Amino acid sequence: MFEYVEFPPQPIVKAHLVINSVLALLTVAVVVLRLVARFLSGAGLWWDDYLILFALPQGLGMVIIQGMWAPMGVGYNMPETLPNLETILKMLVAYELIFSTTISTIKISVLIFYLRVFVNRSLRIATKATLVFVMLWSVGNTLQVFLICRPFAKTYSLTVEGVCGDQIASFIAIGAFNIITDLIILTLPLPTVWSLKMSTPAKLGLTGVFLVGLIVSVIAIIRIVTLTQLDLMNLTGTMIWADFWSATEPNLGILCVSLPMLGSLWSRCVATRRGESKLAYHSENATNGSTGFSKLKNQSQIDDCQEIPLENLYAANQEVHFQSAVTTRANPELDSDRAADTDRDKDTGSEVSLTDRAHHRHDPGNGIRVQTKWTISRD
């Protein structure tokens, strides 16, 4: 365990820690709901889900480090916190590395989600190119953590002889590329969405789903501004806001990319509530003797239809199921008439059974209904 001189955490530092702790708990809850939605849909987990599961503990680790820094003198000027400086710098190395890997993991998860969902060739090519760029950017982030100072021990030790590059400029450059990649990733699917044959409100809804990540981009911009105000010669005195937004961004990113995945769970809940409402409505109408009873009666008559399966075509790729059935109303009188007709017209038995007789011609309950059902599944 690190040894340090303890300082009473300042009120602003406490407030920041509470905010990020609540955000972290909310993020965990949303990720759990995301997994529940995936399992309930029968789709199971895929690489984008696994990557979010990998990013989640890293985001929580950022909040943990923020909490550990709080009593070490964050918000106090350097001369007061000098005994804790080396410990703070060591933790800063881990902080930078975790931030880099978390943000990269979130971006890669979103891009792999695009590859899972979209089949448009041009979009897939652009997604793969962006994926390569993000991976290279991630490698650069990791390398700068270890190469900014030579020897590496100079990064966290005040006594080691060596030289360091401009760390503040490095942080800002990485943050700028972070924002650029965010904007590229968020806008990638928009041309495909607006080329779909659907209503404008539906397109706007999908656009909003994909652009929800702009919230994270705004936080990234604010974080860069706070980094410009960071002074390494008075690190503890100037790191309050940089510390806060750096822990906020990855957890908010996990939250924002997971929220759209809850759509199927929300639809399931809405469908369940609607089903319960309809059941209560019919029960009330049946009790009151209103027309709801007749509707239920009509529904029961429809259920009396006899179903004669015709075919069941199963595609070679085992993804598309097609099924048709002919239904005829169960009518004992009509069945007896048809039986008699069949005895008289044996040569056209099948035709007789499918032809309306004169005394049934105007009966809308007679005739043939073809019910066709399509089921599309993904292995």
Write the DSSP string, 247-315: HHHHHHHHHHHHGGGGHHHHHHHHHHHHHHHHHHHHHHHHHHTSHHHHHHHHHHHHHT-EEEEEEEEE-
Regarding whether 332 and 187 lie in a shared domain, the answer is: no
Query: Which two tokens mark 28?
Result: 């965990």
Regarding whether 210 and 74 lie in a shared domain, the answer is: yes
Regarding whether 310 and 259 lie in a shared domain, the answer is: no
Q: Write down the pLDDT at residue 43.
A: 74
Q: How many domains are there within the chain? A: 2
Q: Kindly report, residue by residue over 7-59, the tens digit of the pLDDT.
A: 999 999 999 999 999 999 999 999 999 988 888 877 778 899 999 999 999 99
Q: Write down the pLDDT at residue 160.
A: 87
Bridge partners of 312?
323
Of residues 156 and 28, the one with the higher pLDDT is 28
Regarding whether 200 and 88 lie in a shared domain, the answer is: yes
The winner for highest mean pLDDT among 172-186, 297-311, 357-371 is: 172-186
Q: Write down the pLDDT at residue 87.
A: 92
CA atoms within 13 A on the CB side of 60: 13
Regarding whether 189 and 138 lie in a shared domain, the answer is: yes
Regarding whether 88 and 212 lie in a shared domain, the answer is: yes
Regarding whether 316 and 219 lie in a shared domain, the answer is: no
Q: Could you tell me if residue 250 is inside a domain? A: yes
The pTM score is 0.70
Regarding whether 327 and 204 lie in a shared domain, the answer is: no
Q: Could you tell me if residue 4 is inside a domain? A: no
- Could you list the residue range(s) of the whole structural domain that residue 60 is in? 11-268
Regarding whether 363 and 217 lie in a shared domain, the answer is: no
Domain boundary among 212, 246, 268: 268
